Structures are given as C-alpha cells and as structure tokens.
Amino acid sequence: MLIALDLPESVQNHLMHMGFVPDAHVTALRRAPAGDPTVYAIDGMEIALRVETAQSIRVREADSAEVPEAIEPELAGASR
C-alpha cells in the first residue's frame, strides 16, 4: 500500500493523477530486461517507473485482507 510520495510537487501531482494516492494498492508486475524501468499496477493501470522515481515512493506490504480481490495472488507476491 502506498504511504507517501517523496518527490517534487510537480512529479507528485502527475503520479497522483495516475492513481498514486495514499492507501492505493501498488503491485510490481515486471522489469525491463536491463532492470529499469519496472512496470507497476495501480488503480487498474500499468505504469512504468524508473528506479530513481520508484525509490522515492514509500510503500508498506499490505495484509492479505487488504489486497483487492481483483489482484491475482501470484501478482500480489510479485512486489516482494
């Protein structure tokens, strides 16, 4: 679950419009072959973020009761 965005305000606003808001469920789906960027699922969208941006997004692992049913169990574990 998303806790906070430690990014410049303009970048925060852009990400918030795409669904990166507090308590949103963020799941890492896949990485590019070279390891950057990584594709994340949030609010029904897939968004690729570079490592330097993703490192500034604070998240905590969601309890199993907090994971939406729409997220497949194998995808929910991809972020671990």
List average pLDDT for each run of 10 residues in the chain, which is 80 residues long: 92 92 92 92 91 91 63 46
- Per-domain residue ranges for the chain? 2-79
> So what's the pLDDT on residue 65?
62
> So what's the pLDDT on residue 62?
75
> So what's the pLDDT on residue 43?
81
2-79 belongs to CATH 2.30.30.90:
yes
Is the separation of the CB atoms in 26 and 40 below 8 Å?
yes
> So what's the pLDDT on residue 63?
73
Kindly state the tokens that stand for 79.
């972020």
> So what's the pLDDT on residue 79?
45
> So what's the pLDDT on residue 74?
46
In one letter, which amino acid is 34?
A
Rounded distance between C-alpha atoms, residue 67 and residue 11, angstroms: 26
Closest CA to 8 of 56, 50, 51: 56
pTM of the model: 0.70
